[in-house]
Amino acid sequence: MASRIRIDLDSPVPATRQIADALRVELVEGRLKPGDELPSVRRAAVDLGLHFNTVADAYRQLAAEGWIDLKHGRSARVAERKAPAASRDAVAGYRQRLRALVSQMRADGISSRRIADELETLAKGVLS
């Protein structure tokens, strides 16, 4: 485990969400494995220059999703997580979000070819 996450402190996206999203990517892509220790909330807050509660909220969010195990007086650890069965509504919701994201990319001037390449790369990563 030697990966890093990056946070944009000037982004309109709240820092809590950025931390949770970045850690989730590490978890889903397997760079963080069950049993791995995460930096303590205090350490992460100092390194990122954020308030303790901002990082704690992100950790709690991941704990609620079952990704990490939070126990008082101990560093957060990556938990064994069984993927829940996604409902049809959830899949439809994600499809809608993906379409919205692709539309946003096109609106920002990214070519259709480029978007397709990016999605293909992502799809290969998901299947590997």
Partner 1 sequence: MMASFQWLILFETLMLTDLLLLRLTRGRDRLTAIVMAEARGIRASRIFCGAVMAIALVGGLVIALSPEEVLFPWLLPVLIMVPAVAASLLFRWQRRAVLSLEAEQAPRKAVLDLAGEPTPQALWLAALPPLITAGLVYVLAAQWSSLVLRDPAPVPATTPWHDPGFKGLVSFLVFGVVWNVYFGILSLMMWYGVSRQYAFRRSQVQAAVALSWSQTLLMPAWVLPLWLRLSPIGLLVCAVSFAVGTGLLVRFGRRARRDWQASDMPPSSYRFYYDRNDPSAFGERGTNLGNPWNWALFTAPAVFLALPLWSLW
In the complex, which residues of this chain contact partner 1 (CB under 8 A)? 1-10, 19, 26, 32, 37-39, 42-44, 46-50
Shortest CB 55 distance to partner 1, Å: 9
How far is Cα 50 from Cα 42, in angstroms, rounded to an integer? Answer: 10
Shortest CB 88 distance to partner 1, Å: 35
Given the complex with partner 1, which of 9 and 127 has the nearer CB atom? 9
Relative orientation angle of helices 112-127 and 88-107, to the nearest 10 degrees: 140
Shortest CB 120 distance to partner 1, Å: 28
How far is Cα 90 from Cα 42, in angstroms, rounded to an integer? Answer: 34
How far is Cα 71 from Cα 92, in angstroms, rounded to an integer? Answer: 35
Given the complex with partner 1, which of 42 and 95 has the nearer CB atom? 42
Given the complex with partner 1, which of 38 and 67 has the nearer CB atom? 38
How many residues appear in the chain? 128
